[in-house]
Amino acid sequence: MMRRAIILLALVCALAMAAATAAGAASGGTPAQAIADCNDHGTLTSYYSPTTLRAALAQMPVDVKEYTDCYDVIERQLFKELGSSAPGTATTGSSSGSSFLPTWLVIVIVVLALAAITFGAMAIRRRSGGPGGPSEPGGPAATGPTASPPPGGSSNPGGSSNPGGSSNPGGSAHPGGQPGPGDGPPAT
């Protein structure tokens, strides 16, 4: 029972596609119909496929080509069907420019690009430390006399601290006032 339903459904779909294809081909008309339509009305009153319009241009009699504007009418319709304008002709109506992308997609791409640039700049700034970073005075990696004292110690004009916590005008942090390796000359 299920197999018969699947076969019947596939047959109906195939027939529907064939009917749509046949209707589309029939509505395209023939090149002679397109030429006669243009010659009778001065414009095309029915839909003709691009293939039919090309064939109509190729088969158009010389007198129709010379004494009517049917060649131009059919050519403009062909270009309209193909989505481009004829070279050397002015277009009537508005044009969206030469972009092949829809406007909404161009806007989305621009917004995403700006967001990427913004977040990239923020990441670079965060990585380098931002304002007051390692390369600027007073930044997190600053050393020397402007560095904060270690926890539990006190600060003095010499830039070092005494383990006892008292101030030492000589600048030495070693017991007994002896200079250690790396200590400079005593301040005077």
Residue 13 has pLDDT above 70, yes or no: no
Give the residue with greater pLDDT, 69 vs 85. Answer: 69
Tell me the per-residue pLDDT of 30-57, one tens digit each, with 9 for 90 and over. Answer: 999 999 999 899 899 989 999 999 999 9
Number of domains in the chain: 2
Q: Is residue 160 part of a domain?
A: no
Q: Is residue 148 part of a domain?
A: no
From CA 71, how far away is CA 170, in angstroms rounded? 104
At residue 148, the pLDDT reads 57
Q: Is residue 95 part of a domain?
A: no
pTM comes to 0.33
Q: Is residue 164 part of a domain?
A: no
At residue 33, the pLDDT reads 92
Mean pLDDT of 157-164: 50
Residue 23: count other Cβ atoms within 10 Å of its Cβ. 10
Mean pLDDT of 75-92: 70
What tokens were used for 48?
């003709």
Q: Is residue 114 part of a domain?
A: yes
Residue 184 has pLDDT above 70, yes or no: no
Residues 65 and 25 in one domain: yes
- Single-letter amino acid code for the residue at 145: P
Rg (CA), the chain: 43
Q: Is residue 52 part of a domain?
A: yes
**Among candidate residues 77, 19, 76, 72, the one with its CA nearest the CA of residue 49:** 77
Q: Is residue 6 part of a domain?
A: no
Length of the chain measured in residues: 188
Residue 112 has pLDDT above 70, yes or no: yes
From CA 71, how far away is CA 48, in angstroms rounded? 14
From CA 111, how far away is CA 117, in angstroms rounded? 10
- Single-letter amino acid code for the residue at 148: S
Which DSSP state fits 29?
Answer: -
Residue 172 has pLDDT above 60, yes or no: no
Q: Is residue 117 part of a domain?
A: yes
At residue 128, the pLDDT reads 87
Residues 27 and 53 in one domain: yes
Q: What angle do CA 181, 164, 149 make, to 5 degrees?
A: 70
Q: Is 85 in contact with 91 (CB distance < 8 Å)?
A: yes
Residues 77 and 28 in one domain: yes
Task: Give the domain range for residue 109.
Answer: 100-129
Proportion of the chain in helix, strand, coil states, percent, rounded to 5: 50, 0, 50
